[in-house]
Amino acid sequence: MTETPPASPAASPAPESAVTSEAPAKPAKKEDSFGVFLLKLVVVVALFRSFVFAPFYIPSESMLPKLLVGDYLLLAKWPYGVSRKSLPFGVPLLPESRILASTPKRGDVVVFKAPPLGEDDWIKRVIGLPGDTLQMKDGVLWLNGQPVPKVRVADFELPVTPNTHCYSPQFTAKLADGSDVCRYPQYRETLPGGKSYEVLDLGPRPQDNTPPQMVPEGHVFLMGDNRDNSQDSRFPAEVGGGIGIVPQDNLLGRATVMMFSTDGGAEWLRPWTWFSAARWSRFGTGF
């Protein structure tokens, strides 16, 4: 009897990878080089600093008691419009006159390009607007024929630190704990419209009496709050001197908030001084 051979086993199915065609690979996204990224970052930062916000460092005592040497504030760039002066290094991509220009308010603290050369950035307070007439009489500010109210308040005490020294020996004093301070006579002025701020008056000075000055159209009259230690619109615009009555096209922006403040005592090689030198109470104060 003939034996029937066993049936051959059924062929096993081919692996799925063998019958399914692979999807075409997507082309890899080309990444920007570091140089391109850096260029984009520089452009974004430049635009932000030119048209939105920019930091500003206080190098002098002309705005005491509001601003101290070592303060870093944030400057809003858009309130008064923008011009070529708003751009880094004065790049000629905008006209000399302001675009979307607006007039500041009395009492605004502004940063501007200081006449006569228009190279350095200064900070002062807006006191007079176009059409106003201003004069100092015996240390009192007169605006449009009326004295601006000036009320004596408590003396301003400023600690002596590495970046702060007294204007002259007559203003030096010691506190009960033995620390040295500068003690200055302080007053509160109130402009028409209700804006109040403190000023320092160190005593009789030649600039306490000035002739009447009328503010021309398109200009502002600027003064420092430290009235006897400020070269401002009371003095003619000249190198090493005053700034005269400043064109509004020179305005760069308005001071908005304090970002940081240091008494100058920080040292790079002593990290703990980065904290001990900070004036923490000044952080976040407004204008």
Give the active site residues: 62, 124
The count of residues in the chain is 287
Do the bridges between strand 150-159 and strand 146-147 make them parallel or antiparallel, or are there none, so unpaired?
unpaired
3-state secondary structure the chain: CCCCCCCCCCCCCCCHHHHCCCCCCCCCCCCCCHHHHHHHHHHHHHHHHHHCEEEEECCCCCCCCCCCCCEEEEEECCCCCECHHHCHHHCCCCCCCCECCCCCCCCCEEEEECCCCCCCEEEEEEEECCCCEEEEECCEEEECCEECCEEEEEEEEEECECCECCCCHHHEEECCCCCEEEEEEEEEEECCCCCEEEEECCCCCHHHCCCCEECCCCEEEEECCECCCCCCCCCCECCCCECCCEEHHHEEEEEEEEEEEECCCCECCECCHHHHCECHHHCCCEC
Which ranges of 213-268 does DSSP label H, i.e. alpha helix? none
DSSP 286: B
Residue 120 CB contacts under 8 Å (≥ 6 apart), including other chains? 113, 114
